[in-house]
Amino acid sequence: MKKCSRCPKPASLHITELENQVPREIHLCEDCAQQYLSEGEPSLPAESEAGMMIQLQLDPDEKQLAELDKHDCPNCGITFREFRSQGRFGCPHDYVVFGEELEALLENIHDEKQHCGKVPKRAPSDSQRQYQLIKLRNELRQAVAEESYEEAARLRDEIQNMETTLSGEAGE
């Protein structure tokens, strides 16, 4: 995630200024962006004018965008750059092919790779427990990979308790 060019906050506005046909990137947080726009800095003209172009992309660096064009889906042929410009994938296989790029994009947009919002009220309690169980198993795998064995043992016990509870309720 890019940091603001003026302060340590995360940038939410990415501007590319063209000075003598040389692009200069500016990354600003919301506060600095408002200050930048209200200062004596040039206003943001349309793309056709001699100036700047707002880019709401993850990394507007042309080298990185060119790298994204080298990798394409063997199924439908779409590149990640095409996905970013269109906002749609060509086939379901693209989620696997561009998994790494998607993780970075989601983390930049939401500051998280995993949904951690609300669960629908009407969702059955079993599905909520199953989701918790899956989450705990993933945490267990990560704890073992990091060799954090005390945490792994605690998670293992929690998973076993939850599985026992689920199987006991299913038998009723």
How far apart CA 124 and CA 80 sit, in angstroms, is: 37
* 52, 15 contact by CB (below 8 A): yes
Q: What is the largest CA-CA distance in the chain?
A: 75
Report percent pLDDT > 90 for the chain. 15
pLDDT tens column, 152-168: 999 999 999 988 887 77
Least confident of 54-63, 114-123, 129-138: 54-63
Highest mean pLDDT among 10-19, 49-58, 120-129, 155-164: 155-164
Tokens 């046909």 correspond to 21
Domain ranges in the chain are 13-54, 62-110, 125-167
Residues 72 and 79: beta-carbon distance below 8 Å:
yes
Taking the CB of residue 29, how many other CB atoms lie within 10 A of it?
Answer: 20
* pLDDT over threshold 50, residue 14: yes
For the full predicted model, state whether its pTM sits above 0.85.
Answer: no
Interval 13-20 mean pLDDT: 78
What residues contact residue 161 under an 8 Å CB cut-off, 6+ apart? none
Chain position carrying tokens 């056709």? 48
The rounded distance, in Å, linking the Cα atoms of 135 and 87 is 29
* pLDDT (average), residues 71-85: 83
